[in-house]
Structure 1
Amino acid sequence: MATKTANRHIRTKGDVAFSMGNYFIFFILAMICAYPFYFLIINSISANDVAALGDVRLFPIDIHFSNYVQAFKLPGLPLAAVVSLARTALATTFVVLSSALLGFMFTQDRMWGRVFWYRFTIITMYFSAGLIPIFIIMKNLGLTNNFWVYVLPWIVQPFNIILVKTFVESMPKELQEAGELDGAGILTIFFRIYLPNMTPILATVAIFTAVAQWNSFQDTLIYITDQKLYTLQYLLYIFINQAASLAQAAANAGGNVGQLANAATQQTASSIRTTVSVIVVLPIIFIYPLFQRFFVKGIMLGAVKG
């Protein structure tokens, strides 16, 4: 007991003041980061005429949710949501599996040309053919106006492979040796022994990929002209640029109902921008809490060997 008491750190007034100062600073920084999202939400559910004047800053005014009902009536939005969800789910699954397999294989001394293939993969992080050659390649491969242009070019990600490779190298070699003694092949060792123990780093890779996939809109801008393949982010880009005309179209589509509606719920350029932005941003915000407990451990173990 005496030893425990001696080893216990006694907090001084300076320690308490330092901790309180840290908490205060981090609280302020957290509020600064969270306020833009909060601002979008309160403006999307406030009276549209008041929000359009910029008078909604801290608390919503005359709360209503008709903006969200009207937003899902915007042309192409439900289908774009399905496309975005599909590309995010498929690409994340393929990237995680490929990163896990390649990261594991690049740690195997028996792999033919291991050093060459690893360096050949990593060098692609530093060099790019450029937009026009890449577009020509995609067109020749038949990937323009094709859903798989959202998935296939993403599968091999050198940065993720580096993280997984470093993570695997930090795992005990005895795991593989025990499997080999039991007669397990290399794929059995990967799927039955290593893959279940890669959860932290694979969760990190999944977060990186899901966020990048959900937020991507340039590939739609470059490779897609078929409106059935538009993503939410690309529609958000269009809606922000055409918010005024969309608001007028929504009012005209309402007919007599639109003429009788309260000004607080009539669509404006501002209401369309904020509402669609919230619809696009919220899903990816909810993903973080699911993987947060793996994130720090995964990124640290995947970045530092030892």
Structure 2
Amino acid sequence: MKIGLGLPAIADRAVLLEWAGRADAGSFSTLALLDRLVYDNPEPLVTLSVLAGATERIRLQTEVLLAPLRETPLLAKQAATLDRLSGGRFTLGIGVGGREDDFAVAGVDLATRGRRLDRQMTELFQLWSGKVVGPAPLEGSPEVLFGAFRPAALARVAKFGHGLIAAGAAQWRPRVIETVREQWQAAGRPGQPRIVIQVNATLRTAADEARTNVLAYYGEPYGHQVAAGLLDTPEQLLAAIADAEHAGADELILYNWSTDPNQVTEIAAVIAAG
């Protein structure tokens, strides 16, 4: 099983490049960035393009891009361009989002976001053919993973995607993964869907900063629940890795809510020692 890192909201170029350089030089598989509109985070597609030029090996992933906030032809061109210029290292983690303020600023109806995403996915694959919007992605499309947990959202994995990003509460994660695998088989898709599990992990040297950032991002009262579930000890980190392996995950993304690039080295050391 591969292990990647998620970065929350780092808009400092030097710090981002330090994170990327350390992760790329080590054994981590992916660098992931979240997406919001009304929040002080760097825009993920722009930021990942910077990281693509600063790295050689590591994959680059949105986790997850809020597609309904974007115009589909431009999104198709941006994703295809990043896929090509990164040498095929881009994964489009995609979802609908649910923050009212994001949708209000974008002028998009929150209530129709699911239907909008379904239309967008059909259009994206048409546009990625290269017949209308170029350049075409390297392999027909970037890898597409859906961040999902509701039934309609889970159904998109077998219909449009390559796999699932399973985040959120651990107690319902097994059923979500099982549902996606069942739907994949029922749809006649070959092989198995790719399963990526996401957990929040920041080792104790930076855990206080991480919890502050979690609370700022999620707000009351949910932020306290997320902060309380933050994995901050080597024992918790190794247990999460074992749980993800037991679930048959292909990759575990450790979302780190600290800006300290020393977390890359410290987490790598825990994994190596475990």
Shared fold, TM over 0.5: no
TM-score (norm 1): 0.22
Which protein has the larger Cα radius of gyration, Structure 1 or Structure 2?
1
Normalized per residue, the structure richer in helix is 1
Question: Larger RCO: Structure 1 or Structure 2 (Cα < 8 Å, ≥ 6 residues apart)?
Answer: 1
TM-score (norm 2): 0.24
